[in-house]
Amino acid sequence: MGPAAPDDGRRRTDGVVVGMPRAAGTALRVVLVVVVLLAVLLALLWILQRRLVFPADRSPVPPARTLVPGAADVTLTTDDGLALGAWYVAPREGCGTAVLVAPGNGGNRSGRAPLLRALSAAGLGVLLLDYRGYGGNPGAPSESGLAADALAARRFLAGRGFADADLVYLGESLGGAVVTELAARHPPRALVLRSPFTDLAAVAADAYPFLPVRLLLRDRFPLLATVRGIGVPVTVVLGTRDTLVDPAQSREVAAAAPDGTLVEVAGAGHDDPVLADGPALVRAVADAAGCGES
């Protein structure tokens, strides 16, 4: 009898090798583990995505007057029956324009008090809303929910005597998509978009390039597609060092608007005060309103 064949992890029958090499079996197990982990990750992202898209600060906010002189706490009523807290400042005499401010997806209105003060100092009326789920408001945010909240804000201003031609919509980041959608249905005097993206999936793809975000996202916010049909003047204000929304996306939005203007704040990041409530943004809004700065 000859020497025994070496054991390489395969079973031999009548001189024919059957079974799988040990290394190949290990590789297959690794692939299966990776596939299972990826499937779990995708399932979690599908379930939890709105917590990521809308990291709502649900903390109650202080009375408006404690942070902004002349501001009042007001309530917006949505079509689906929610009562949302917001802050309102009336315009000064000689300026009949109001600004509807739709915030981004972080924080709440107390963190935007400097913007409200700056716009009010320019003589503008301002309504600063918090979406459902933010700033002590009831409800859970979603794309359709935010659209309903913005519509309630417009209805509040109409009740104060402002026609659409007396309104400027100011949208911050994700709020830019919210007010662009509102403008498509109810055109204002002008639209000002601060750090807008082309659509939500484009931002998510930059953050998670290894995931099929366009297949996963429930909320789309197709700002670029919508702004192409907006007939009112659109001013885009961006920071050249924005690392959250690529400035190239904001420039693309400005270029797509039929009557678009681009304002760039050199060296500013996404949430830097010089961009969020600085002179470039306030001037852009005041110019759009036709009131000028004080």
User: Using one digit for the tens of pLDDT, what is the confidence trace for 225-246?
Assistant: 999 999 999 999 999 999 999 9
Residue identified by tokens 């789309």 is 220
Is the pLDDT at 5 greater than 70? The verdict is no
Helix (H, G, I), strand (E, B) or coil at 134: coil
Q: Classify residue 150 by its DSSP letter.
A: H
Rg (CA), the chain: 26
Residues with Cβ < 8 Å from 3, sequence gap 6 or more? none
What are the structural domain ranges in the chain?
18-53, 64-289
**Mean pLDDT of all residues belonging to the chain:** 91
**How far is it between the farthest Cα atoms of the chain?**
111
Helix (H, G, I), strand (E, B) or coil at 35: helix
Sheet containing 83-89: order of strands:
72-77, 83-89, 125-129, 98-102, 167-172, 190-194, 234-239, 260-265
User: Using one digit for the tens of pLDDT, what is the confidence trace for 34-49?
Assistant: 777 776 666 667 677 8
Q: Side chain identity at 92, as an amino acid letter? A: R
Fold designation for 64-289: Rossmann fold (3.40.50)
